[in-house]
Amino acid sequence: GRKGGLPAAARHVLTAVGQVRFAHAYDGDTLVGVGRGTVTGAGRWLGLSLIEVLPEARRRGVAVAVIGALAEWAGTAGATDVFLQVEQHNVPAVTLYRTLGFTTHHTYRSRIAPS
């Protein structure tokens, strides 16, 4: 991804949930979009995170297709509700998610410890 490789601790956080899937979208041989879905909350919730689309592939339905694939998988696993995480300053993504019916439940801040 654009943020580089993952340390072992980060990989554990991303995969420690019992039901986790990664979806991907290709344009020919080029990977243009990815996303992570987890089924949590006693099987009720699909949690979407790490939705990413290459800049040159944006506004072509790639993110919607990735989300759709994860929603289809989660529905077969019994999930009935969806939540997602998005950086609130990512205006294009927030706009897309609003068109899909998402609203803001809460916000949070990420902090980096001083060295």
pLDDT digits (tens, 9 = 90+) for 8-41: 876 766 666 778 999 999 999 999 999 999 998 8
pLDDT digits (tens, 9 = 90+) for 66-108: 999 999 999 999 999 999 988 889 999 999 999 999 999 888 8
User: From edge to edge, which strands make up the β-sheet containing 45-53?
Assistant: 19-27, 30-40, 45-53, 81-84
Q: Kindly report whether the global pTM for this prediction surpasses the value 0.75.
A: yes
pLDDT digits (tens, 9 = 90+) for 37-51: 999 888 889 999 999
Report the alpha-carbon distance of residue 102 to residue 7 in Å, rounded: 31
Q: What pLDDT is attached to residue 16?
A: 65
28-31 LR contacts (CB < 8 Å, sep 24+):
30/54
CATH of domain 18-99: 3.40.630.30
> Where do the domains of the chain lie?
18-99
- In the block, tokens 């990989």 appear at 11
The number of residues making up the chain comes to 115
